Structure 1
Amino acid sequence: MSNEKLINQINNAIGAHGSWKIKLRTAVKKGKSVHSVEDVRCDDKCAFGMWIHGTDIDGPTRSSVPFNVIKRLHAEFHVCAADVLKMATTGNTNEATDLLDGDFSAKSEKLVRGLRKWRGEAAAD
């Protein structure tokens, strides 16, 4: 896999996953979302998830530590986002807000930090 393609995927993922805080905050305010809890929970339905679970990634990249760390962090991000969304859409506004501002924000920041580190390593190669 070319480093350029990897860097592009990582850049896209950083932007896309960064926008989830806004989507979730909107869901908390409105009590509804165009996204289903089940779809959000799946880490293979977003563009980055389809790529990371897909066949475009070569063996050496797939077996690397950065890939496996990001895959795990990405899955954790989606589970937490789904938990926020479920609370938001079932009337648990305060709990949803607490989770969004707490654990979700921490998982999101950790994922983005990991993606930036991976991008830096790919750019240095």
Structure 2
Amino acid sequence: MPTHSLVDEIDNALAAHAAWRQKLTTAIRTGHLDSSPHDITCDDRCAFGQWLQGPSLNAAVKQSKPYQITRRLHAEFHAVAGQVARLAEDSKGGEAFALLDNEYAARSETLTRALKKWRGEMANAE
């Protein structure tokens, strides 16, 4: 895969995952989710997860440390997002906001840092 394509995918992931906080906040306030908590928990249902785990990345990329770290952090992000979604669905807004503001925020920030680091490494490799 060309490096610029990898950088583009990482940029898309950064934008998409940044939007999750607003989606979850809306879900907590309204009790309405566009996806089930189960689907949100699955890290291979979003476009980035499908790309990350799909066939377009070669074995060398998938064996690299940045890939391995990103894949793990992405799964952790989705696990917490799914927990927030389940609490929202169960009308447990206080618990959902607490999880969103703490563990979710921490996982999101860690994933964002890892994605930016990986993007920087790929951009410098061009």
Same fold (TM over 0.5): yes
Partner residue, 1:67: 67
Partner residue, 1:10: 10
Amino acid at match of 1:24: L
Q: CA deviation at 1:32?
A: 1.9
Q: CA deviation at 1:2?
A: 1.1
Partners in 2 of 1:48 and 1:34 — Cα distance?
Answer: 18
Q: Secondary structure at the match of 1:39?
A: helix
Aligned positions of 1:48-63 closer than 5 A: 48-63=48-63
Q: CA deviation at 1:34?
A: 1.6
List runs of 5+ in structure 1 lacking aligned partners: none
Amino acid at match of 1:43: D
Q: CA deviation at 1:93?
A: 0.7
Q: CA deviation at 1:99?
A: 0.2
Q: Identity of counterpart residues, as a percentage?
A: 42
Partner residue, 1:22: 22
Partner residue, 2:105: 105
Q: CA deviation at 1:95?
A: 0.3
Q: C-alpha deviations, 1:57-76, integer Å up to 9, x for none?
A: 01110100000000000000
| Root-mean-square deviation over aligned CA pairs | 0.5
Partner residue, 1:122: 122
Task: Return the TM-score normalized by structure 1.
Answer: 0.98
Q: CA deviation at 1:31?
A: 1.4
Q: CA deviation at 1:121?
A: 0.3
Partner residue, 1:92: 92
Which consecutive segments of 4 or more residues in structure 1 shift more than 6 A?
A: none
Q: How many residues align?
A: 125
Partners in 2 of 1:38 and 1:48 — Cα distance?
Answer: 17
